[in-house]
Amino acid sequence: MADTIRIVCDNLGGETEVAAGTPLSELAARLAPGRHPFLAAEVNNRIKELDYRIYTPVTVRFVDVTSFAGIRVYQRTAWFILQKAVGDLYPGRTLHIRHSLGRSGFYCEIEGTDEIGTEEAEALRRRMHEIVRADLPIRRTRALTTEVRNRYAESGYADKIELLDTRPRLYSEYYTLGETVGYFYGALAPSTGYIGLFGIEPYYNGFYLALPLRTAPDRIHTDYYQEKMFGIFREYQSWVEIMGVPTVGAVNSKVLAGDAGGMIKLAEAFHERKFAWVADEIYEANLRRGTRMVLISGPSSSGKTTSAKRLGIQLGVLGLKPVMISLDDYFVEREKTPRDENGEYDYEALEAIDLELFNDHLRRLMAGESIDIPRYDFITGKRTKHETPLTLDERSILIIEGIHGLNPRLTPSIPDAQKFRIYISCFTSVAMDNLTRISTTDNRLLRRLVRDHEQRGADALATLGRWASVRRGEEKHIFPYQENADVMLNSSLFYEISVLRPYAEKMLREVPDTVAEYDEARRMLKFLDNFIPIPPDEIPPTSILREFIGGSSFKY
């Protein structure tokens, strides 16, 4: 029949037929129910909501909460339900989803409310469950941007309006949940009934929204007592608000006003002050307890290398002699690298480091010997030698940077008193708007895309293909040790995504639509389209961002 279309459904294991115009939700209903409901589907490797209708031959792969795409749909839908619950209980007040906290939750505040106590948290939780039980439909509307702007104005969404005004389009989209209007920069579930698992707990001036993990979706996780990380987020949130750039729309407005150079100078000066403060802390630790070693850890593309070098300059100002070692140079040669459960090289595993050689070098350095440290070539996967041998004297302080820096198994023979531990990451402080944070993972992925292309000869497809493995390695080998740090540093720069956009866009557009990574490439391109590009001309050569885009005055 002319109105019958043959499609490939991965969840069915092959081809099937559907009538033209069949929505994805109807196709999903044919499948045997699994443990978790389908939240959306990847159609020709692009995420689509379940109301999407099929009119041409396509490949369909339904996703649930156990996939990276599915967990994002779950989170965004939960945020919308929370937005409605806050609107119902606190009419006229603004919800802020500030930042991620713990392994799977988010810290939130309600503007104009000094504190959320146990009773208030319980009332929010009950209202969210009422909305879920009602299984209210979530509707998407595409309209002239002027009409969307008017809807936002009626709801008092100045943050969303500012972004619309700085990135003008003829048409825009918005979602409705009852009378509540919202937009979350990605697909949502069809209705509130899909989101059954969440928790609300009081925390500081606001509350913690607990959600399930992708890898453990049957329970919520309340491991949110990460005081050092929370303190970093709050510090930077306060700072970007003082600077007048809490959202992407505000950053864009300053770019359009010709103040990009001023933003760059302020952000870089703030970084410099933080490095000077940390150097003072290390100097005091050196005097008090004989600290000889600084260990810098953090996830991929957090700026560890440049941070180590800038910290070394500040320590030099104080009269110490920094000696740098990168753990990356102690990678075993590629063919000896351990493999993960999928048979891929697992560069995030501690065993990817030549621990025996590394600890032998530490012992000899501490004994006053001179050593020839290795240098790892990421293109060939082979080790060579550094040109200059390393030696420590009485004023030397050893700075070691790498993802395993805070793992006690890395330096078991060094007394704790001699170590100063630093955790550094890209804790993105600017938000898309009050309800949509920018994932620190997305920020780091952009950095890695650009760096791997510029310095390691990898295209976007290769980097995207490895990213899931990188993230699994971080969850296993890095994040469990982050609260062991003496101090935490935020390497994010509130202007940086505007600079990274032109570099990353060109690479992401080259990802073909025939591969699974295409959806992630399209998602990142859509995300980047919200930022007005900033040229890199005024970025100083010592900036952390130069580690990724090139032009650094440091030698790597």
In a domain, residue 401? The reply is yes
How far is 485 from 498, CA to CA, in rounded Å? 30
The verdict on residue 418 lying in a domain is yes
Q: Is residue 279 part of a domain?
A: yes
352 and 248 co-located in one domain: yes
* In a shared domain, residues 270 and 169: no
Tell whether the model's pLDDT for residue 356 goes beyond 60: yes
**Residues 242 and 188 both lie in one domain:** no
User: 177 and 243 share a domain?
Assistant: no
Q: Which of 226, 252, 282 is the last residue of a domain?
A: 226
Q: What is the 3-state secondary structure (H, E, C) of 406-473?
A: CCCCCCCCCCHHHEEEEEEECCCCCEEECCEECCHHHHHHHHHHHHHHHHHCCCHHHHHHHHHHHHHH
pLDDT grade, residue 2 (50/70/90)?
low
In this structure, of 33-47, 184-198, 228-242, the range with the lowest mean pLDDT score is 228-242
- Look at residue 556 and tell me if it is in a domain: no
The answer to whether the beta carbons of residues 86 and 111 sit under 8 Å apart is no
Q: Is the pLDDT of residue 48 over 90?
A: yes
Q: Which of 227-231, 238-242, 264-268, 311-315 has the lowest mean pLDDT?
A: 227-231
Quick one: residue 290, left, alpha or beta (phi over 0 = left, psi -120 to 50 = alpha)? left
In a domain, 170, yes or no: yes
Give the C-alpha separation, 412 to 241, whole Å.
Answer: 42
- The values of phi and psi at residue 183, to 5°, are -155, 135
3-state secondary structure of 220: strand
Are 234 and 332 found together in one domain? yes
Q: pLDDT category, 556, cuts 50, 70, 90? A: confident
pLDDT at residue 186 above 60? yes
Arithmetic mean of pLDDT, 138-158: 96
Residue 284 has pLDDT above 60, yes or no: yes
| Residues 510 and 424 occupy one common structural domain | yes
| Torsion angle (degrees, nearest 10) of CA 260, 262, 265, 270 | -100
Q: Is the pLDDT of residue 1 over 50?
A: no
* pLDDT (tens digit per residue) in 83-142: 999 999 999 999 999 988 877 899 999 998 888 999 999 999 999 999 999 999 999 999
User: Residue for token digits 């296993």?
Assistant: 476
In a shared domain, residues 100 and 211 = yes
pLDDT, average across residues 404-427: 92
pTM: 0.90
Higher pLDDT among residues 12 and 189, named by residue: 189
- The pLDDT mean for the chain works out to 93
Same domain as 242, residue 198: no
Percent of the chain with pLDDT over 90: 76
Residue with tokens 């900033």: 534
Q: Which domain holds residue 42?
A: 4-63
- Are residues 150 and 51 located together in one domain of the fold? no
Pairs from 63-66 (Cβ < 8 Å, separation ≥ 24): 63/38, 63/39, 64/34, 64/36, 64/37, 64/38, 64/39, 64/217, 65/36, 65/39, 65/212, 65/214, 65/217, 66/36, 66/214, 66/215, 66/217
Mean pLDDT across 234-256:
92
Cα(393)–Cα(367) distance, rounded to whole angstroms? 10
Q: 555 lies in a domain?
A: no
Average pLDDT score over residue span 231-250:
89
CATH number at residue 499: 3.40.50.300
Structural domains counted in the chain: 3
In eight-state DSSP terms, residue 329 is G
In-domain check, residue 23: yes
Structure tokens at 312: 């070394």
Residue 349 lies in a domain: yes
Q: Are residues 83 and 128 in the same domain?
A: yes
- Residue where a domain stops, chosen among 226, 257, 286: 226
Region 342-347 average pLDDT: 81
Q: What percentage of residues in the chain have a pLDDT greater than 70?
A: 99
Q: Of 63, 80, 103, which residue is a domain's last? A: 63
Q: Give the domain CATH number at 9.
A: 3.10.20.30
Whether 406 and 451 share a structural domain: yes
Q: What is the mean pLDDT of residues 256-267?
A: 96
Pairing mode of beta strands 216-220, 212-213: antiparallel
Task: Measure the CA dihedral 146/149/154/156, to 10°.
Answer: -160
Weakest mean pLDDT among 224-238, 269-283, 363-377, 417-431: 224-238
Averaged over 518-546, what is the pLDDT?
A: 96
Residues 90 and 53 both lie in one domain: no
- The whole-angstrom separation of Cα 411 and Cα 409 is 6
pLDDT at 507: 96
Tokens for 462, please give them: 């290769």
Q: Quick one: average pLDDT of 144-157?
A: 95
Flag whether pLDDT at 225 surpasses 70: no
Higher pLDDT pick, 122 / 228:
122
Question: For residue 127, what is the domain's CATH number?
Answer: 3.30.980.10
